[in-house]
Structures are given as C-alpha cells and as structure tokens.
Structure 1
Amino acid sequence: MAVQPRAMLGRGELRVWRWLQDVFPEHHVMVKLPVTRFCKPRDRSAAEGLFNMLSGVYCTFTLADDTGRAIGCVDVMDLRRLSRGNRQLKQNLLAQCHIGYWLLTPDVLPEAWAIRAEFLGLGATESSAAPLTDSAELQVARHNLVETLDRRRSDRRSSQMAPLDINSGISRFTDWGQLDSFPIPLEERGEHAPSRR
C-alpha cells in the first residue's frame, strides 16, 4: 500500500489554529479529536450504542488544560458549511459536559475576549487585548442566551422524535486498532495511561 504524508489542516484551518494558540497560550489546541475521547456515557449499558452513534463526531479543534480536560471545542466552517443538525448535536452533547462550543469562519474571527469568556468564564478575559466592558458582558450574555435557547428548542424537538436505533455489536477497538476508553475508562480496566515526559 503506497501512502504519502499530507497536511493535517487546510489553509483556513491553519490560520484559526495559530489564532487559537495566541488567544489561549496557557492551553493545548488539539486537532480533529473525536468527542468520544473526552466524554463518556452516564449509563454504561448504553456505552456501545452511544459509541456507535458518536464515533464519527469530532470538532476541528479541541482546547484542553494541563490536566487533559477539554474546556472548549471549535468548528471551522468552509465552503461546505456545517449542517444545522450536526451543529446542534455537538452543542447539546458538549453542553451536557459543560464544554464550550464555537463555530467560526477563518475570515471573520471573533474578539479574543469573547471566545475566552465562552470557554473560561467572564473572569478569564484579562489576557485578551480588549478590556471587558459592560457592553461586552452584555454581548457574551446575549450569545450564551441564544445558544441556550437553541439547545432547548433542539431538546424539545428531539424528545418528540422516536429513539435512535442503536446496534449493539460494535467493536471496542478504534480505527487505530487500540482499545477505546469510551465504554469503560482505561483506569477502570486496570490499564494505566502513559506517563507524561
């Protein structure tokens, strides 16, 4: 099988990645990470079905703190546009985990204070260039309200829909041939995460 290397990011994604590194210098900006790496089911009996449903869901970028905890996710829109259903699935899923979500385009990046406030809270904007004014706080609150209303409308619609048909015969191996920790976290299997260097 003949393969060759390719870039992980397109031109617009690369611009956003560099911008996120500048806006969140104290965090790690990870590329195209599946959401099953940083969320887990509340009910273990539903783990395999949820993994089947979520295994192909990822965000363009995931921001994590030094403990490896995801604090926010960003999707970069290009010419193909992100479908409303895909966006709402991610909003609902990440909101349940208390992880911020932002959808943006490379040509129109938000103010640094706004995305920091979304992911870290209003008190975390001190390292941004623009001071957080009463007007800015109002904008952030308005944005959060719109997102909350959107999520609640989606929840209302999805509760009226029939439950998804979930296949239970899914393998617990990822596409990389490694055991996946989504159904049962690695620590609970007696396996240890690799130590940091």
Structure 2
Amino acid sequence: MTFTLLLGMALGAALLFLRDELVGRAHRRVPKTWPLTVRPVVSSSEKRVWIWLTGAMYDHQILLKLPIARMTAPNSQAEAEHWYKKLNGIYCTFAICNQRGKIVGCVDVGGADGQSVRNQAVKKALLNQCGIAYWVIDPENRPSLAQFRAAMVGDAAVEAMPFNEHEQLFRVDTEKTPSGGSRSVHHSAMACAAT
C-alpha cells in the first residue's frame, strides 16, 4: 500500500513537471504575429525639449531614455548585481553625451507628465556624486542657453560659444511644398534671430 502511494505521488509529480515544461515551452516560443504595435518614444512635451536640446548642445549627442545603470558603475564588483537591479528601472529622459562617449549631463522633462519629486531628488544626488549634471526642464519655461550649457559643460565652453544667448541655435519652420503638403525646414544656427 505504501509502495502504491509512493508510486502514485511520483507519477503525479512527473505529470505536473511535464505539464509545466510543456506550458513553459509554449510561452517561450516566438510568436508568428507579435501582439505589439509601434508607439512614440517621446511625448509632445519631451519632443519640444529634445528639439531645444539638439540646438543647445549642438556639439554633443542627445540619447533618449537611458537607464541610470548604463551611465554609472558600482565601486565594488561584488555589489554590481544589487545596484544594477536597483537602478535599472530608473532612467533619464535625455542623456547628453560628449564626442568621447562620456555622459556629461542628464535632463528630465518637468510638468504634468513629468517624474516624481522623490525620483528626481534621487537622480540629482546620485548623478551629482558621479560628476554628471542633472536638470529638470519645463518645456514652457526653458533656461537660458548660457545658463544651461554652463551647467552641462562648464563656463569655459559657454564663453567659446559663437552666439549670444539671445540668438537661437536653430529654427524649425513649416513650409508648403509644391504638391500642397508641408515639410519641416531647419535653418542655420547663425542666421536665426531669437523668437
């Protein structure tokens, strides 16, 4: 009787394992048709700040939605996995990268769809400790170009700027095409007056 009971339990466990394995394989299979669609990477307010950033930081690269874990490293390799898990879900809307691949600053977009004050405080403390500038920009109330560039790359870089802060780095206009449509036209940084 004990043997039958043990045999039944072993058979039941084997069947459960087999069922779980088959269900797991079904979930791991690559679908023929993905149940996903394309979505915008940035919101409309983030897009306005992005366009402004590409002009303000014309000599840098602007990276989108970069996790903090990609721009920082733990002091101790033994704690690497712990900090990666803790920081991987925290990102900055924009990271400003110099031509050598070093992150010099991060920007989040403030406003109604912005991030929590606590989250911003954590990022500011961590990034400042790592020597990375952090700024929260309201799309409707952006800082002056000189003030922003000084925070990101230092006063010496601002003094070397070939424009004053009343000049706009670039302007994007919409013009009509011969077919009746419209297209965006980028104008040179030096040819544009402030708007």
TM-score, with structure 2 as normaliser: 0.64
Question: Which of 101, 119, 130 is 2:165 aligned to?
Answer: 130
Cα deviations by residue, 1:32-74 (Å, 9 ceiling, x for unpaired): 0101111100111111111111010100000001111100000
User: Could you tell me how far apart the structure 2 residues matched to 1:103 and 1:14 are?
Assistant: 14
Pair 1:80–1:25, CA change in 2 (3 A): closer
Contact 2:108 2:114 in 1 (8 A): no
Higher-RCO chain (CA-CA 8 Å, sequence separation at least 6): 1
Pair 1:81–1:11, CA change in 2 (3 A): closer
Question: Which of 93, 97, 112 is 1:64 aligned to?
Answer: 97
Opposite residue 68 of structure 2, the aligned amino acid is V
User: Could you tell me how far apart the structure 2 residues matched to 1:97 and 1:42 are?
Assistant: 11
Q: Could you tell me which residue of structure 2 aligns to residue 103 of structure 1?
A: 136
Q: Give the drift of 1:7.
A: 1.2
User: Could you tell me how far apart the structure 1 residues matched to 2:150 and 2:128 are?
Assistant: 15
Question: Which of 147, 161, 179 is 1:114 aligned to?
Answer: 147
More strand per residue: 2
Q: Give the drift of 1:78.
A: 2.8
Pair 1:15–1:80, CA change in 2 (3 A): closer
Q: Give the drift of 1:129.
A: 2.3
Cα deviations by residue, 1:7-53 (Å, 9 ceiling, x for unpaired): 11111111100100000111000110101111100111111111111
Opposite residue 61 of structure 1, the aligned amino acid is F
Cα deviations by residue, 1:95-153 (Å, 9 ceiling, x for unpaired): 1210000011111111010110001111111325229xxxxxxxxxxxxxxxxxxxxxx
* Percent pairwise identity: 34
Question: Which of 58, 64, 88 is 1:25 aligned to?
Answer: 58
Consecutive unaligned residues of structure 1, counting only runs of 5 or more, are: 132-197
User: Could you tell me how far apart the structure 1 residues matched to 2:42 and 2:77 are?
Assistant: 35
Consecutive unaligned residues of structure 2, counting only runs of 5 or more, are: 1-33, 167-195
Q: Could you tell me which residue of structure 2 aligns to residue 14 of structure 1?
A: 47
Q: Give the drift of 1:81.
A: 4.2
Q: Give the drift of 1:87.
A: 1.1
User: Could you tell me how far apart the structure 2 residues matched to 1:90 and 1:79 are?
Assistant: 19
Q: Could you tell me which residue of structure 1 aligns to residue 69 of structure 2?
A: 36
SS in 1 for 2:148: helix
Question: Which of 53, 73, 80 is 2:106 aligned to?
Answer: 73
Q: Where does structure 1 differ by over 4 angstroms across 4 or more consecutive aligned residues? A: none
RMSD: 1.4
User: Could you tell me how far apart the structure 2 residues matched to 1:58 and 1:97 are?
Assistant: 15
